[in-house]
Amino acid sequence: MFAIASSQKQYKTYTLSDQAANSLLEVVPERGGIVTRWSIQGQEMLYLDAERFANPQLSVRGGIPILFPICGNLPDNTYTYNERQYTLKQHGFARDLPWEVTEQVTQEQASITLVLDSNEITRAVYPFDFQLAFTYQLLGNKLAIAQCLTNHSTVAMPFSVGIHPYFLVHDKTQLQFTIPATKYQDQRTKTNHSFTGHFDFQLDEIDAVFRPLNAANASVRDANRGLKLQMSWNDAHYKTFVFWTQKGKDFYCIEPWTAPRNALNTGTDLISLEPDASLNTWVNMEVTFL
């Protein structure tokens, strides 16, 4: 049996549930359309910094933030379009603005669709008219995130899109990664490293960018928690994979991006959507218990 309930907390929160699988998903449209909780058989999959979440002046650390129209940061937070300079902060604005619920489904799955339309706030930093729709689909131990981007502008719209999930971990030394790349670049030092499935968690911060990718899936085995997370994505669009964590924090992030940092300036893997066209893409996640 599938159900969707809503409750008024600091923000209105929608709870999707699959009772047969004992799984649930919490979504907060007003706070950037974010997923704040994913629980399976009583085990929490996601990390959430509750203090930052409660402060609307701060970006959320936790859950599954949405990245659009850029992934990562720009030099000096600026880019140039048609010889005009714009300011756009890290990961874009989608994760900070309120989204609208447009559809709820409880047949064969629990799903909810959220929409963000361009407005005066977005046009001031990104001069395009668009609609961004994310559909979260819960079925058993699976979470599917379907994305539809529509360009309502009269010119081609350049962008990248991604997600930034924070997964809960208690002992990072018990993690083993399968990532579809043989090397990564350390974003702090800009040095390249070969990859063998493990990271040095004694470092204060790890910010690793994997590209090119040789497959459209990755997995993380957590021996401490007795589970395996599998992630897959649409390889037609997602070209960059990021791993990020900080020492002393109970999270790790694995992030599929359609383009790397600064793509609005460099054009690397940047998607250009023609006027009145739509692009559909997806990222899926599934947890199995060992």
| Of 161, 193, 186, 133, the residue nearest 271 (C-alpha) | 161
Longest dimension (CA), the chain: 56
Paired sense of beta strands 205-210 and 240-246, if any: antiparallel
Q: What's the sign of the alpha-carbon dihedral 107, 168, 62, 262?
A: negative
Which two tokens mark 257?
């991006």
Distance CA 4, CA 17 (A): 6
| Of 193, 168, 187, the residue nearest 252 (C-alpha) | 168
Which two tokens mark 87?
């300011």
Global pTM reads: 0.97
Distance CA 105, CA 109 (A): 7
* Sole residue written with tokens 């699976």: 142
Taking a C-beta distance cutoff of 8 angstroms, is the pair 145, 132 a contact?
no
**Neighbouring residues of 76: CB distance < 8 A, sequence distance ≥ 6:** none
Distance CA 32, CA 95 (A): 4
What local confidence, expressed as pLDDT, does residue 29 receive?
98
What local confidence, expressed as pLDDT, does residue 196 receive?
87
Q: Which CATH architecture has domain 2-289?
A: Distorted Sandwich (2.70)
What local confidence, expressed as pLDDT, does residue 198 receive?
87
Distance CA 52, CA 57 (A): 8
Q: What is the CA radius of gyration of the chain?
A: 18
Q: Domain residue spans in the chain?
A: 2-289
Query: pLDDT truncated to tens, each residue of the chain (290 aa)?
Result: 999 999 998 999 999 999 999 999 999 999 999 999 999 999 999 999 999 999 988 889 999 999 999 999 999 999 999 999 999 999 999 999 999 999 999 999 999 999 999 999 999 999 999 999 999 999 999 999 999 999 999 999 999 999 999 999 999 999 999 999 999 999 999 999 999 888 999 999 999 999 999 999 999 999 999 999 999 999 999 999 999 999 999 999 999 999 999 999 999 999 999 999 999 999 999 999 99
